[in-house]
Amino acid sequence: MNTKPASVRSKLDFYRLARDEGVHLENCPVREVIANIGGKWNSLLMLALAEQPYRFGALRRLVPDISQRMLTQTLRDLQRDGYVHRAVFPTKPPSVEYSLTELGRSMFDPLQALVKWAEQHHDAVRAARARFDRDES
Amino acid sequence: MNTKPASVRSKLDFYRLARDEGVHLENCPVREVIANIGGKWNSLLMLALAEQPYRFGALRRLVPDISQRMLTQTLRDLQRDGYVHRAVFPTKPPSVEYSLTELGRSMFDPLQALVKWAEQHHDAVRAARARFDRDES
DNA sequence: GATAGCTGGTCTAGAAAAGAGACCAGCGCT
DNA sequence: AGCGCTGGTCTCTTTTCTAGACCAGCTATC
Protein backbone atom coordinates (compact mmCIF):
# COMPACT_ATOMS: atom_id res chain seq x y z
CA MET A 1 0.00 0.00 0.00
CA ASN A 2 0.85 3.69 -0.22
CA THR A 3 2.49 3.25 -3.58
CA LYS A 4 2.06 6.36 -5.58
CA PRO A 5 -0.52 5.79 -8.29
CA ALA A 6 0.90 5.63 -11.78
CA SER A 7 -1.38 8.40 -12.96
CA VAL A 8 0.35 10.96 -10.77
CA ARG A 9 3.79 11.29 -12.30
CA SER A 10 5.13 14.78 -12.34
CA LYS A 11 3.91 17.99 -10.87
CA LEU A 12 2.91 19.04 -14.32
CA ASP A 13 0.75 15.99 -14.87
CA PHE A 14 -0.56 16.59 -11.44
CA TYR A 15 -2.35 19.69 -12.60
CA ARG A 16 -3.06 18.50 -16.05
CA LEU A 17 -4.91 15.26 -15.67
CA ALA A 18 -7.49 16.88 -13.51
CA ARG A 19 -9.18 18.29 -16.56
CA ASP A 20 -9.47 15.14 -18.57
CA GLU A 21 -12.09 12.99 -16.94
CA GLY A 22 -14.73 13.19 -19.60
CA VAL A 23 -17.20 10.84 -17.98
CA HIS A 24 -20.56 12.47 -17.49
CA LEU A 25 -22.47 10.94 -14.67
CA GLU A 26 -24.75 13.89 -14.26
CA ASN A 27 -27.93 14.04 -16.37
CA CYS A 28 -27.82 10.29 -16.34
CA PRO A 29 -31.26 8.66 -16.41
CA VAL A 30 -29.94 6.00 -14.09
CA ARG A 31 -29.66 8.62 -11.43
CA GLU A 32 -33.38 9.35 -11.43
CA VAL A 33 -34.13 5.72 -10.96
CA ILE A 34 -31.51 5.11 -8.31
CA ALA A 35 -32.59 8.26 -6.50
CA ASN A 36 -36.01 6.81 -5.95
CA ILE A 37 -34.77 3.40 -4.96
CA GLY A 38 -32.33 5.07 -2.65
CA GLY A 39 -34.84 6.96 -0.57
CA LYS A 40 -34.92 6.16 3.09
CA TRP A 41 -38.11 4.14 3.00
CA ASN A 42 -38.50 3.12 -0.61
CA SER A 43 -36.47 -0.05 -0.55
CA LEU A 44 -38.06 -1.07 2.71
CA LEU A 45 -41.55 -0.73 1.33
CA MET A 46 -40.56 -2.57 -1.81
CA LEU A 47 -39.35 -5.38 0.38
CA ALA A 48 -42.59 -5.50 2.27
CA LEU A 49 -44.78 -5.34 -0.81
CA ALA A 50 -42.73 -7.99 -2.58
CA GLU A 51 -43.72 -10.34 0.18
CA GLN A 52 -47.43 -9.71 -0.34
CA PRO A 53 -49.83 -6.85 -0.99
CA TYR A 54 -50.59 -4.73 2.03
CA ARG A 55 -53.10 -2.12 2.99
CA PHE A 56 -52.05 1.31 4.14
CA GLY A 57 -52.57 0.71 7.81
CA ALA A 58 -50.89 -2.67 7.65
CA LEU A 59 -47.79 -1.10 6.18
CA ARG A 60 -47.83 1.48 8.91
CA ARG A 61 -47.84 -1.18 11.57
CA LEU A 62 -45.26 -3.20 9.70
CA VAL A 63 -42.83 -0.30 9.64
CA PRO A 64 -43.63 1.43 12.89
CA ASP A 65 -41.00 4.12 12.70
CA ILE A 66 -42.27 5.65 9.49
CA SER A 67 -44.38 8.72 9.84
CA GLN A 68 -47.80 8.58 8.24
CA ARG A 69 -46.90 11.46 6.03
CA MET A 70 -43.78 9.77 4.69
CA LEU A 71 -45.66 6.55 4.14
CA THR A 72 -48.22 8.36 2.01
CA GLN A 73 -45.53 10.18 0.14
CA THR A 74 -43.22 7.24 -0.41
CA LEU A 75 -46.07 5.10 -1.65
CA ARG A 76 -47.10 7.83 -4.01
CA ASP A 77 -43.55 8.13 -5.32
CA LEU A 78 -43.40 4.39 -5.83
CA GLN A 79 -46.74 4.49 -7.57
CA ARG A 80 -45.67 7.39 -9.71
CA ASP A 81 -42.64 5.52 -10.97
CA GLY A 82 -44.80 2.53 -11.78
CA TYR A 83 -43.48 0.13 -9.18
CA VAL A 84 -46.61 -0.02 -7.10
CA HIS A 85 -50.30 -0.33 -7.87
CA ARG A 86 -52.86 1.38 -5.67
CA ALA A 87 -56.28 -0.24 -5.52
CA VAL A 88 -59.20 1.28 -3.66
CA PHE A 89 -61.95 -1.07 -2.46
CA PRO A 90 -65.40 0.30 -1.68
CA THR A 91 -65.61 -1.28 1.74
CA LYS A 92 -66.72 0.80 4.66
CA PRO A 93 -64.44 2.42 5.59
CA PRO A 94 -62.84 2.24 2.16
CA SER A 95 -59.64 0.27 2.15
CA VAL A 96 -56.64 0.83 -0.09
CA GLU A 97 -54.38 -1.99 -1.10
CA TYR A 98 -50.88 -1.52 -2.42
CA SER A 99 -49.19 -4.19 -4.51
CA LEU A 100 -46.18 -4.48 -6.78
CA THR A 101 -46.66 -4.06 -10.48
CA GLU A 102 -44.83 -6.15 -13.06
CA LEU A 103 -42.21 -3.42 -13.30
CA GLY A 104 -41.91 -3.36 -9.54
CA ARG A 105 -41.38 -7.07 -9.38
CA SER A 106 -38.74 -6.94 -12.07
CA MET A 107 -36.77 -4.33 -10.22
CA PHE A 108 -37.17 -6.24 -7.01
CA ASP A 109 -34.84 -8.97 -8.25
CA PRO A 110 -31.68 -6.86 -8.35
CA LEU A 111 -32.81 -5.08 -5.22
CA GLN A 112 -33.06 -8.38 -3.48
CA ALA A 113 -29.51 -9.21 -4.54
CA LEU A 114 -28.40 -6.12 -2.73
CA VAL A 115 -30.39 -7.05 0.33
CA LYS A 116 -28.85 -10.48 0.29
CA TRP A 117 -25.42 -8.92 0.17
CA ALA A 118 -26.35 -6.71 3.10
CA GLU A 119 -27.47 -9.73 5.11
CA GLN A 120 -24.21 -11.50 4.44
CA HIS A 121 -21.89 -8.59 5.08
CA HIS A 122 -23.56 -6.43 7.63
CA ASP A 123 -21.22 -7.69 10.33
CA ALA A 124 -18.21 -6.67 8.24
CA VAL A 125 -19.77 -3.26 7.77
CA ARG A 126 -20.45 -2.94 11.44
CA ALA A 127 -16.88 -3.95 12.25
CA ALA A 128 -15.49 -1.39 9.83
CA ARG A 129 -17.73 1.23 11.35
CA ALA A 130 -16.61 0.41 14.87
CA ARG A 131 -12.95 0.48 13.82
CA PHE A 132 -13.38 3.85 12.14
CA ASP A 133 -15.16 5.35 15.11
CA ARG A 134 -12.47 4.09 17.46
CA ASP A 135 -9.55 5.32 15.35
CA GLU A 136 -10.80 8.80 14.76
CA SER A 137 -11.41 9.50 18.43
CA MET B 1 -59.37 -5.67 -11.51
CA ASN B 2 -61.18 -4.27 -8.51
CA THR B 3 -61.95 -7.73 -7.24
CA LYS B 4 -62.12 -7.63 -3.51
CA PRO B 5 -59.06 -9.32 -2.00
CA ALA B 6 -59.82 -12.69 -0.44
CA SER B 7 -58.33 -11.58 2.85
CA VAL B 8 -61.09 -9.05 3.42
CA ARG B 9 -64.19 -11.18 3.98
CA SER B 10 -66.49 -9.80 6.59
CA LYS B 11 -66.50 -6.57 8.46
CA LEU B 12 -65.29 -8.45 11.49
CA ASP B 13 -62.25 -9.82 9.71
CA PHE B 14 -61.73 -6.38 8.41
CA TYR B 15 -60.82 -5.12 11.82
CA ARG B 16 -59.21 -8.26 13.03
CA LEU B 17 -56.55 -9.06 10.47
CA ALA B 18 -54.98 -5.71 10.95
CA ARG B 19 -53.36 -6.88 14.13
CA ASP B 20 -51.72 -10.01 12.82
CA GLU B 21 -48.80 -8.99 10.66
CA GLY B 22 -45.96 -10.21 12.81
CA VAL B 23 -43.12 -9.40 10.43
CA HIS B 24 -40.58 -7.10 12.02
CA LEU B 25 -38.66 -5.11 9.49
CA GLU B 26 -37.52 -2.53 11.98
CA ASN B 27 -34.26 -3.12 13.88
CA CYS B 28 -33.07 -5.03 10.87
CA PRO B 29 -29.32 -4.78 10.26
CA VAL B 30 -30.04 -4.78 6.57
CA ARG B 31 -31.59 -1.39 7.02
CA GLU B 32 -28.37 0.18 8.24
CA VAL B 33 -26.57 -1.09 5.19
CA ILE B 34 -29.27 -0.13 2.74
CA ALA B 35 -29.57 3.25 4.37
CA ASN B 36 -26.02 4.06 3.45
CA ILE B 37 -26.24 2.67 -0.04
CA GLY B 38 -29.44 4.60 -0.45
CA GLY B 39 -28.02 8.03 0.24
CA LYS B 40 -28.35 10.54 -2.51
CA TRP B 41 -24.72 10.42 -3.60
CA ASN B 42 -23.40 7.18 -2.21
CA SER B 43 -24.29 4.90 -5.09
CA LEU B 44 -23.05 7.46 -7.57
CA LEU B 45 -19.65 7.69 -5.91
CA MET B 46 -19.46 3.93 -5.66
CA LEU B 47 -20.05 3.79 -9.37
CA ALA B 48 -17.32 6.29 -10.07
CA LEU B 49 -14.79 4.65 -7.77
CA ALA B 50 -15.56 1.20 -9.15
CA GLU B 51 -14.36 2.47 -12.48
CA GLN B 52 -11.01 3.59 -11.07
CA PRO B 53 -9.58 5.34 -8.03
CA TYR B 54 -10.09 9.07 -8.02
CA ARG B 55 -8.75 12.01 -6.10
CA PHE B 56 -11.03 14.37 -4.25
CA GLY B 57 -10.97 17.12 -6.82
CA ALA B 58 -11.42 14.68 -9.68
CA LEU B 59 -14.56 13.34 -8.05
CA ARG B 60 -15.81 16.84 -7.61
CA ARG B 61 -15.41 17.56 -11.30
CA LEU B 62 -16.85 14.19 -12.20
CA VAL B 63 -20.02 14.88 -10.27
CA PRO B 64 -20.38 18.60 -10.69
CA ASP B 65 -23.66 19.01 -8.88
CA ILE B 66 -22.42 17.67 -5.59
CA SER B 67 -21.47 20.27 -3.04
CA GLN B 68 -17.99 20.02 -1.63
CA ARG B 69 -19.42 19.53 1.79
CA MET B 70 -21.54 16.56 0.73
CA LEU B 71 -18.65 15.05 -1.17
CA THR B 72 -16.48 15.13 1.94
CA GLN B 73 -19.26 13.75 4.05
CA THR B 74 -20.37 11.02 1.68
CA LEU B 75 -16.80 9.85 1.19
CA ARG B 76 -16.33 9.74 4.92
CA ASP B 77 -19.50 7.72 5.35
CA LEU B 78 -18.36 5.32 2.66
CA GLN B 79 -14.97 5.07 4.32
CA ARG B 80 -16.55 4.55 7.70
CA ASP B 81 -18.54 1.59 6.47
CA GLY B 82 -15.43 0.08 4.94
CA TYR B 83 -16.35 0.47 1.29
CA VAL B 84 -13.73 3.05 0.45
CA HIS B 85 -10.06 3.48 1.27
CA ARG B 86 -8.61 6.94 1.71
CA ALA B 87 -4.92 7.29 0.90
CA VAL B 88 -2.98 10.52 1.44
CA PHE B 89 0.10 11.11 -0.70
CA PRO B 90 2.79 13.56 0.45
CA THR B 91 2.87 15.47 -2.81
CA LYS B 92 2.73 19.23 -2.74
CA PRO B 93 -0.01 20.09 -2.34
CA PRO B 94 -0.86 16.78 -0.68
CA SER B 95 -3.26 14.71 -2.70
CA VAL B 96 -5.86 12.30 -1.41
CA GLU B 97 -6.89 9.28 -3.38
CA TYR B 98 -10.07 7.34 -2.80
CA SER B 99 -10.43 3.75 -3.94
CA LEU B 100 -12.76 0.83 -3.33
CA THR B 101 -11.80 -1.72 -0.72
CA GLU B 102 -12.38 -5.43 -1.16
CA LEU B 103 -15.67 -5.05 0.70
CA GLY B 104 -16.61 -2.15 -1.52
CA ARG B 105 -15.93 -4.14 -4.64
CA SER B 106 -17.97 -7.05 -3.36
CA MET B 107 -20.98 -4.85 -2.74
CA PHE B 108 -20.53 -3.19 -6.07
CA ASP B 109 -21.60 -6.34 -7.88
CA PRO B 110 -25.21 -6.35 -6.68
CA LEU B 111 -25.27 -2.58 -6.94
CA GLN B 112 -24.27 -2.84 -10.54
CA ALA B 113 -27.11 -5.26 -11.17
CA LEU B 114 -29.46 -2.57 -9.96
CA VAL B 115 -27.82 0.01 -12.16
CA LYS B 116 -28.12 -2.29 -15.12
CA TRP B 117 -31.81 -2.71 -14.37
CA ALA B 118 -32.14 1.06 -14.21
CA GLU B 119 -30.45 1.45 -17.58
CA GLN B 120 -32.79 -1.06 -19.15
CA HIS B 121 -36.01 0.20 -17.61
CA HIS B 122 -35.59 3.89 -17.13
CA ASP B 123 -37.79 4.61 -20.10
CA ALA B 124 -40.59 2.52 -18.57
CA VAL B 125 -40.16 4.44 -15.34
CA ARG B 126 -40.22 7.73 -17.14
CA ALA B 127 -43.35 6.70 -19.03
CA ALA B 128 -45.08 5.68 -15.81
CA ARG B 129 -44.10 8.94 -14.25
CA ALA B 130 -45.45 10.96 -17.18
CA ARG B 131 -48.70 9.00 -17.13
CA PHE B 132 -49.12 9.55 -13.42
CA ASP B 133 -48.45 13.26 -13.66
CA ARG B 134 -50.93 13.62 -16.50
CA ASP B 135 -53.69 11.63 -14.81
CA GLU B 136 -53.57 13.38 -11.49
CA SER B 137 -53.85 16.85 -12.97
C1' DG C 1 -77.18 7.12 21.93
C1' DA C 2 -72.69 8.73 23.44
C1' DT C 3 -67.90 6.90 23.18
C1' DA C 4 -64.16 5.04 21.34
C1' DG C 5 -61.88 2.88 17.43
C1' DC C 6 -61.03 1.93 12.73
C1' DT C 7 -60.26 3.59 7.69
C1' DG C 8 -56.68 6.46 4.67
C1' DG C 9 -55.30 10.46 4.51
C1' DT C 10 -54.02 15.96 4.99
C1' DC C 11 -52.08 20.05 7.53
C1' DT C 12 -48.88 22.41 10.50
C1' DA C 13 -44.92 23.20 13.15
C1' DG C 14 -40.34 21.90 14.52
C1' DA C 15 -36.01 19.26 13.69
C1' DA C 16 -32.69 17.36 10.74
C1' DA C 17 -30.28 17.07 6.40
C1' DA C 18 -28.56 19.03 2.21
C1' DG C 19 -26.84 22.89 -0.72
C1' DA C 20 -24.31 27.34 -1.87
C1' DG C 21 -20.53 29.69 -1.13
C1' DA C 22 -16.79 31.98 1.54
C1' DC C 23 -12.54 30.84 3.70
C1' DC C 24 -7.99 28.41 5.03
C1' DA C 25 -2.63 27.30 4.41
C1' DG C 26 1.05 26.01 1.54
C1' DC C 27 2.97 25.66 -2.66
C1' DG C 28 3.72 26.34 -8.31
C1' DC C 29 3.46 28.91 -12.42
C1' DT C 30 3.56 33.31 -14.84
C1' DA D 1 2.79 39.84 -6.67
C1' DG D 2 -1.12 37.46 -7.92
C1' DC D 3 -3.75 33.72 -9.30
C1' DG D 4 -4.72 28.74 -9.22
C1' DC D 5 -4.52 24.34 -7.33
C1' DT D 6 -4.70 21.02 -3.18
C1' DG D 7 -8.48 18.95 0.29
C1' DG D 8 -11.02 20.44 3.40
C1' DT D 9 -13.98 23.25 7.16
C1' DC D 10 -17.42 26.85 8.65
C1' DT D 11 -21.65 29.38 8.20
C1' DC D 12 -26.06 30.46 6.27
C1' DT D 13 -30.15 29.26 3.68
C1' DT D 14 -33.28 26.05 1.67
C1' DT D 15 -35.19 21.70 1.30
C1' DT D 16 -36.69 17.45 3.41
C1' DC D 17 -38.35 14.58 7.36
C1' DT D 18 -40.79 13.81 11.57
C1' DA D 19 -44.22 14.09 15.18
C1' DG D 20 -48.56 14.83 16.09
C1' DA D 21 -53.18 16.93 15.74
C1' DC D 22 -57.08 16.72 12.81
C1' DC D 23 -60.75 15.08 9.30
C1' DA D 24 -65.27 12.36 7.71
C1' DG D 25 -67.78 8.31 7.73
C1' DC D 26 -68.62 4.17 9.54
C1' DT D 27 -68.94 0.23 13.58
C1' DA D 28 -68.76 -2.24 17.72
C1' DT D 29 -69.35 -1.53 22.66
C1' DC D 30 -71.38 0.18 26.83
The Cα of A53 is separated from the nearest Cα of chain B by a number of Å equal to: 10
Per-residue confidence band for A128, with pLDDT thresholds at 50, 70 and 90: very high
Give me the pLDDT at residue B39, please: 78
Higher pLDDT, B45 or A28: B45
CB proximity list for B103: less than 8 A, separation 6 or greater: A121, A124, A125, A128, B82, B83
Does any CB of chain B come closer than 8 Å to the CB of residue A43? yes
The Cα of A43 is separated from the nearest Cα of chain B by a number of Å equal to: 8
Mean pLDDT of B51-72: 88
Per-residue confidence band for B66, with pLDDT thresholds at 50, 70 and 90: confident
**Inter-axis angle of helices A68-80 and A42-51, to 10 degrees?**
80
Give me the pLDDT at residue A107, please: 92
Higher pLDDT, A37 or A26: A37
Does any CB of chain A come closer than 8 Å to the CB of residue B77? no
Q: List all residues of chain B from 118 to 137 with a beta carbon under 8 Å from chain A.
A: 118-119, 121-129, 131-133
Mean pLDDT of B58-73: 88
Chain A hits for B114, CB-CB cut-off 8 Å, are 34, 37, 107, 110-111, 113-114
Do B108 and B51 touch, CB atoms closer than 8 A?
Answer: no
Per-residue confidence band for B36, with pLDDT thresholds at 50, 70 and 90: confident
Say whether pLDDT at A104 is over 90: yes
Tens digits of residue pLDDT in A4-18: 333 333 333 333 333
Nearest by CB to A25, from B4, B38, B63: name it. B63
User: What's the CA gap between A19 and A29, in Å, rounded?
Assistant: 24
Average pLDDT, chain A: 78
Closest-CA residue of chain B to A101: B128
Per-residue confidence band for B124, with pLDDT thresholds at 50, 70 and 90: very high
A57-66, A100-109, B16-25, B123-132: range with lowest mean pLDDT: B16-25
Say whether pLDDT at B101 is over 70: yes
Say whether pLDDT at B16 is over 80: no
Say whether pLDDT at A23 is over 60: no
Strands (E), chain A: 54-55, 84-89, 95-100
What is the pTM (predicted TM-score) of this model?
0.80
CB proximity list for A119: less than 8 A, separation 6 or greater: B29, B30
Average pLDDT, chain B: 77
DSSP string, B15-37: HHGGGG-----TT-HHHHHHHHH
Does any CB of chain A come closer than 8 Å to the CB of residue B73? no
Give me the pLDDT at residue A103, please: 96
